[in-house]
Amino acid sequence: MNKVFSLIFILLYTGLFAESEWTVLVYIAADNNLFNNAFKDINEMEQVGSSDSVNIIVQIDPLDDATSHFDSTEARRYYITKDYSPSYISSTLLVSLGEINSADPKEVYKFANWGFSEYPSRKKMLIIWDHGNGWSKEDQSKSVCNDDESGDNISVADGELKTAISNINYHLDILAFDACLMQTVEVIGEVYEYCDFIIGSEDEVPVDGFPYGFAWDTEYGIFNYLTENPQCTPREFSKEIVERYVNSYLSGQQSGSHLTLSAINTDYYPIFQ
């Protein structure tokens, strides 16, 4: 009898804490003029939602006057669930964080360490969403994640981006930047040791950003692909993100020009050193 009970307990325990295939964390630093676009992108994610195999978790730091979309200006974490309304965010609220400085590298790795611990998975992806200027000669800040409240950003040149990523306690299968000008040798050199693939643009990213999900034109949404193909490898998903990004704009599903996006296998970066 004890053996039967033990077996039932083990089955329940392993079922409760079983790993998903993927956990995708989206760090949205929207305490700036991109907030409306952040709201749109979260609603795109809700067109698909998480699944038994794929966890999609968002942390958003909204603009202070963003109450037209939220009932609060606090930073929040959401578990993305399916919903077809573009007028509001209906996903499950997990945590309210109060006012934060989303340009503090600590906020990135706190979110990542919490997310990957709470939602264990075989494959892990982090998307950093906001303004970016990488290593642009025209912009001295050489940074990503602008926070209007603090007047701060995460500097690439001063090592803050490396601090943000190197303090994540989990190796990333994919690190993606939904931000302008982040796919440069200088940026890759800061973070390549901590991830297998890096996705980003060497040019501007249109304000529509990544094509996260679509209820009808499912061939363009990156989360459509992932939830339909959760067994895909990080290499396969990285390739699919690049292709769907370009096709979503060429088809008119999204609006923008100056399209560049690439996926870099970090195994090959040391060749350039």
Q: Tell me if the pTM is above 0.85.
A: yes
With contact defined as beta carbons under 8 Å apart, do 80 and 91 qualify?
A: yes
Q: Is the pLDDT of residue 11 over 70?
A: no
172: exposed, middle or buried (C-beta count within 10 Å: 0-12, 13-18, 19+)?
buried
Q: Is the pLDDT of residue 14 over 60?
A: no
What ranges do the domains of the chain cover? 28-56+83-88+99-272
pLDDT tens string 120-137 = 999 999 999 999 988 866
Is the C-alpha dihedral spanning 191, 194, 200, 205 positive or negative?
A: negative
pLDDT tens string 160-203 = 999 999 999 999 999 999 999 999 999 999 999 999 999 999 99
pLDDT tens string 44-85 = 999 999 999 999 999 999 987 655 566 668 999 999 999 999
